[in-house]
Structure 1
């Protein structure tokens, strides 16, 4: 088994809160974990918590309940309780990407010079919001 050194996020970037999961800074090394933690779903539609600009991301996903690929499962012998059909949920077309341009240049989060960054998943209202981020411009 391959072992990797466990990365621990800094506590000042992920402060504790009663109703919110808060991310105070963009850290590419925790991108996959934060996509999973910031995911939203209501039983019919689910979306991974990827940046709205369309990237960077590890696995962008928009999933709809009931939209499956199915196939028959063939066993060497029949037995009671064995599944007859296999299902895999399919990723649908991503409709949440927003293209943002700053001074006619596409905004790309890893290359941005951010002065502040705040993304939070509100568990009480079921919303994911990114607000309060400011860019530093060089003239």
Structure 2
């Protein structure tokens, strides 16, 4: 391979690597499905709680402002049972108040406070449910 071709190949590879490094990543990556429903799960404490889930049943999904579904209902319910702040209305509508409450919760968990519910927020929220035995039982927000 000539020197010009090698320089061109290296330049192209470097340009591709730089462009990938500049693409912002969020919890709601293209590979993560959207949460559109809720799934009943049982915590190690024995509590039965609804968590956001994708239509395929995966709890590794995302929800953002503007969504309206039973997944949002589950998210709002979990926010209410895992935070000690003011309660938000559980209305299945991910509006500005739900986003603000989610950002506050994400800040409390010391994770990316982007107002998008995704796998990172889900794992922290699930840990919070696990550590509040009896408080997040299904009957509290059903």
Q: Pick the structure with more helix per residue.
A: 2
Fold in common (TM above 0.5)? no
